[in-house]
Amino acid sequence: MDNLAIIGGTGLDALGILDVHKREVVETPYGSPSGAVARGTLFGKEVLFLPRHGYSHSFAPHKINYRANLWALRELGVENILAIAAVGGIRNDMSPATLSVPKQIIDYTWGRASTFHENENDQVLHIDFTNPYCEDLRQKLLASASSANVNMIDGGTYGAAQGPRLETAAEILRMERDGCDIVGMTGMPEAALAREINLCYATCAVVANWAAGKGQGEITMEDIETNLKAGLSDVSRILEALLS
């Protein structure tokens, strides 16, 4: 797997296993990305890394400059993007600390800059988004999980919520009726923007908590952090299989 960038999400924004040898500050026509792009070695391969929420986790999901992040990565020669994302589990088997590679998206976000083609002189662009994720990278992730003996669910529909608050129980029931299996706040417009500039993009979703109303009691940050830590060690085994 060459020309790979990893975009890390909540709890997954310090890829400590990456041996960083350079940090690249890139300005784009869309403004600044969430931070300098780290270039380093991961399991013997050169990989780029960008923390979606910034190095000090300061950008809320609706404030992330998704366009600048993807543009900067493409400027640096990236062709493949692995998005690591914390999500809430809706479907029964999407329990905390489970990993999945979603296959579909339903977008509930609003007010986010969601295309590179919005200036008056630009040609309006209608990308095909029937299958929002890059199937080639999805299959590589699943094969890597299998060879690393990590359980990773193939498929599922990612519901992209606006945040930054978590959902109400009724909102999650609606998302479930719509067909969502997991819920996160950053999957869109990231996936669509990647498609617009021909980047192969897939998500490794790590279930951080039961979505609102699906578990017992309140959702706490402590529980989320514990589950993400457990999930992240599995992610690192998958990356080792993917890269070596």
Q: How many CA atoms lie within 13 A of 190 on its CB side?
A: 34
Q: CA-CA-CA-CA torsion for 111, 116, 120, 122, nearest 10 degrees?
A: -150
Which of 179, 186, 185, 188 shows the shortest CA–CA distance to 165?
185
Please state the closest distance from residue 210 (CB atom) to ligand HPA, in A: 8
The residue among 201 and 210 lying less far from ligand HPA, judged by its C-beta, is 210
Which H or E element spans position 183? Answer: strand 182-184
209 binds ligand HPA (CB under 6 A): yes
70 binds ligand HPA (CB under 6 A): no
Please state the closest distance from residue 4 (CB atom) to ligand HPA, in A: 24
Contact with ligand HPA (CB under 6 A): which of 35, 184, 187, 189? 184
166 binds ligand HPA (CB under 6 A): yes
88 binds ligand HPA (CB under 6 A): yes
161 binds ligand HPA (CB under 6 A): yes
Contact with ligand HPA (CB under 6 A): which of 87, 134, 205, 242? 87
- As a whole number of angstroms, the distance between CA 213 and CA 169 comes to 5
64 binds ligand HPA (CB under 6 A): no
Q: Identify the burial level of 115 via C-beta atoms within 10 angstroms of its C-beta, where 0-12 means exposed, 13-18 middle and 19 or more buried.
A: middle
- As a whole number of angstroms, the distance between CA 239 and CA 48 comes to 13
The residue among 12 and 18 lying less far from ligand HPA, judged by its C-beta, is 12
Which residues are at the interface with ligand HPA (CB under 6 A)?
A: 86-88, 161, 166-167, 183-185, 208-209, 211
